[in-house]
Amino acid sequence: MCKAILFLAGRYHARDFQFYRKLARGCFKVAVDGGYRFFERSGLVSDLLIGDFDSLKKLPRQLSQKTRVARFPVDKDKTDTELALDYCLDHGISKIDLVQPSLGDPDHFLANLFLLSRASRRSRPGTPQLRLVGPDYEALLLSDSRVSFCRAQGSVVSVIPVSASITLTCRGTAFDVTRAKIARGQTRSTRNRITAATASFEIAGKAFVIRHFLRAGII
């Protein structure tokens, strides 16, 4: 297994199923508790169903024999998403997409976003290996590294410092900068639009990079 995709609980619209199927192609597919409803509706088969099943209440009747089940008690120290992420990392999978179809509750979104920070310490350095993604956005964590976006003209990118300050260089955007100093809490590095065929963001320090797609499902 070289890549995994975790489908979290949320509202999955049928219009986005093609996007999700393309994203899941060739991946180890994980249903995180209520995220199993996506598999029921889309026709895809999960390789793993994991969680405390407080959303599902009980195991699905038509569960595929291919699907392994990992059940945990409701009272635990980790969320279902963190348990699923740990499972993948423990099995040597470092390239992982966490699918959260919409931002949902702020606390859940922030907790999942910061799981990228926690898990990045167990992943290979360089190109980001962990991503939070939905049909109209993706969120990465960069730490003393860079990322490039190709054929993404019109999409909007925000860089949110996690460390006390970052040094940001970006090219191919409406506002190109070279070694700009951005302190945590400043908003100067938000909502920059990609204008070129290829745009790059290089960061010294640690920051979230959040890209909003120009059209839903285009990645």
Mean pLDDT of 68-83: 88
> What are the domain boundaries of the chain?
1-134, 136-219
**Superfamily in which the 1-134 domain is placed by CATH:** Thiamin pyrophosphokinase, catalytic domain (3.40.50.10240)
CATH code: domain 136-219 is 3.40.50.10240
- Please check whether the two domains, 1-134 and 136-219, share a CATH topology: yes
Q: What is the pLDDT of residue 214?
A: 67
Strands (E), 64-136: 68-71, 95-99, 130-134
Residue 121: is its pLDDT beyond 80?
Answer: no
Mean pLDDT of 153-177: 96
- Tell me the pLDDT tens digit for each residue of 12-33: 999 999 999 999 999 999 999 9
Chain centroid, CA 7 distance in Å: 10
Cα atoms in the Cβ-side hemisphere of radius 13 Å centred on 35: 28
Q: How confident is the model at residue 77 (pLDDT cuts 50, 70, 90)?
A: confident
Residue 127: is its pLDDT beyond 50?
Answer: no
Distance CA 17, CA 38 (A): 9
Q: What is the pLDDT of residue 217?
A: 45
